[in-house]
Amino acid sequence: MKALVFERSLPRYAAARVASSWVPGGGARVGPLRLAQEEDPALPGPEWRRVSPILAGICGSDLSTVDGRSSRYFEPIVSFPFVPGHEVVGRLIGGPDDGARVVLEPVLGCAARGLEPPCAGCASGSTGACERVAFGHIKPGLQTGFCADTGGGWSTSLVAHPSQLHPVPDGLGDDHAVVVEPAACAVHAALASGDVEGATVAVVGAGTLGLLVVAALRHFCLPGAIIAAAKHPHQRRLATELGADHVVEPAGLARAVRRHTRAMAVGDGLSGGADVVLDCVGSADSIAEALAVVRPRGRVVMVGMPGVTRVDLTPLWHRETQLVGAYAYGVETPPGRPGPVRTFELAFELVQEADLGRLVSARYPLDRYADAIAHAGAAGRRGAVKVVFDLQHESRRPTWRTAS
């Protein structure tokens, strides 16, 4: 198979860090990522299926990895070398449903790892909370795309456990289907906000995740108002289209929240603020901003992957702010709906209803992976949202190897 492979190499890791300090995504050219012709990954068990990716997205966590900026926290729960890519729509290879399109739910939980009985998280359906992502009959890896045994979406072949596969409805295009996985993250994050009916919700950041969170809030929750901070004009337009009531530039978020909630300004913060703030950036600045604009005893949901940051938590202590993470997905009970439903089911619904395939801005072949990653790293500035690899015709393209 043709694949982008990420290897453990400290010198290349350091080079990626240096390169990415100049330009986000710069780590692709000098870092541990390389294009290679590899053996297809072996099926770990009889029930496992082989999948030929059609489209695979480039996510913020992928960029952090390629740029050598992801937290060392992940070291024990990934295995090298791995093929990145966890936002995947592909076709099943072989079997009675050969050629059927599927979306990958990448979390490698207890079922995929052959662990019985499952952990508490997996038993409740919350696979994102799996306690055993480093154990079982496959190598460590919190998700497909970070595991040496499964392959990943940035290739022409990967393997997946049936528990990870969701059939794509006939009417749903590939552009829509590739957004289902990040949409599921957004649905999970929106519902992690708690009961927001009638509440003021602020969303910091309007990249793919921020926009999807806005859409999910509008679709599944009943917020009184959504205030979104978006840096670039196309992001502001999309945030409005997807359901934000007020869209402002990042520097104006505190003023917008203050005005909407009729709070008073106190120094750099507010006397009151938004009931819930979803931080879809994950930087020190965005966390500080979220803490500054959330009301006392309000909730900040960390949606963007933060890494190592330095933040003054005094306001969190003083205002008794709840700081909660929102990772991946599992099962949800949206307001007004019966029973727990798998997050991916809701994500399929959201992608279709909100026409989220429009977020896919550019497709690249694997050969141009450095350009693709640079584009994803500068998506906002370049008027893009989601950049994806187009794997459909890779088998007919000549194989190309990096100079190294």
Partner 1 sequence: MSPRPGFVLEVDRSTPATLMWHGEGYRLERLPTGARVVYPPEPLEPLADPRGAIRHVLENPVDSAPLSALLRPGMRLTIAFDDVSLPLPPMRRPDIRQQIIEAVLDAAAAAGVDDVVLVAALALHRRMTEPELRHALGNRVYDSFAPHGLLTQHDAEDPDNLIHLGVTDAGEDVELNKRAATSDLLVYVNINLVAMDGGHKSVATGLASYRSLRHHHNVRTMLHSRSFMDQHRSELHSSNWRMGRLIAESGVKVFQIETTVNTDTFPEQFSFLSKREWEWSARDRVGFLATSSALARTPDRVRRQIFHSMRSPIGLTSVQAGEVEAVHALTTENVYRQQLVEVDGQSDVLTMGLPYICPYNVNSIMNPILVMCLGLGYFFNLYRGRPLVRQGGVLIMSHPTPWAFDPVFHPSYIDFFEQVLAETTDPLEIEAKYEQSFATDPWYIHLYRTGHAYHGVHPFYMWYWGAHALDHLGRVIVVGGDPAAVRRLGFKSASSMADALEMAEDVVGRDPSITHLHAPPLLMADVR
Structure tokens belonging to residue 344 = 């991916």
Between CA 367 and CA 330 the distance in angstroms is: 34
Q: Whose Cβ is closer to partner 1: residue 8's or residue 259's?
A: 259
What is the 3-state composition of the chain as percent helix, strand, coil, each rounded to the nearest 5?
35, 25, 45
Interface pick for partner 1 out of 8, 137, 237, 259 (rule CB under 8 A): 259
161 binds partner 1, rule: CB under 8 A: no
Interface pick for partner 1 out of 139, 246, 375, 386 (rule CB under 8 A): 246
Q: Whose Cβ is closer to partner 1: residue 123's or residue 266's?
A: 266
249 binds partner 1, rule: CB under 8 A: yes
- Name 253's bridge partners: none
Q: Where are the alpha helices (DSSP H) in 281-367?
A: 284-293, 314-318, 343-353
Burial class of 116 by CB neighbour count within 10 A (0 to 12, 13 to 18, 19+): exposed
- Name 360's bridge partners: 386
262 binds partner 1, rule: CB under 8 A: yes
Q: Whose Cβ is closer to partner 1: residue 137's or residue 259's?
A: 259
Segment lying near partner 1 (by CB under 8 A), choices 19-27, 99-107, 202-210, 253-261: 253-261
Interface pattern 265-304 for partner 1 (x via CB under 8 A): x---------------------------------------
CB 187 within 8 A of CB 332: yes
CB 320 within 8 A of CB 296: yes
Between CA 87 and CA 125 the distance in angstroms is: 20
Segment lying near partner 1 (by CB under 8 A), choices 42-50, 259-267, 282-290, 394-402: 259-267
Q: Judging by DSSP bridges, how do beta strands 269-270 and 265-266 pair with one another?
A: antiparallel
At its nearest, how many Å lie between partner 1 and the CB of residue 239? 12
Interface pick for partner 1 out of 142, 225, 263, 366 (rule CB under 8 A): 263
Question: Torsion angle of alpha carbons 175, 155, 208, 279, nearest 10°?
Answer: 150
Could you say which residues in the range 41-80 bind partner 1, by CB under 8 A? none
Q: Whose Cβ is closer to partner 1: residue 23's or residue 251's?
A: 251
Interface pick for partner 1 out of 248, 294, 354, 374 (rule CB under 8 A): 248
Segment lying near partner 1 (by CB under 8 A), choices 87-95, 157-165, 176-184, 261-269: 261-269
Structure tokens belonging to residue 232 = 């670039």
Interface pattern 196-235 for partner 1 (x via CB under 8 A): ----------------------------------------
Q: Whose Cβ is closer to partner 1: residue 242's or residue 351's?
A: 242
Q: Which of 195, 213, 226, 385 is nearest to 304 (CA)?
A: 213
- Which residues 6+ apart lie within 8 Å of 308 measured at CB? 71
CB 203 within 8 A of CB 217: yes
Interface pick for partner 1 out of 2, 49, 166, 258 (rule CB under 8 A): 258
At its nearest, how many Å lie between partner 1 and the CB of residue 255? 5
Cis-peptide, bond into residue 44, ω within 30° of zero: no
Per CB under 8 A, residues contacting partner 1 are 246, 248-249, 252, 255-256, 258-259, 262-265
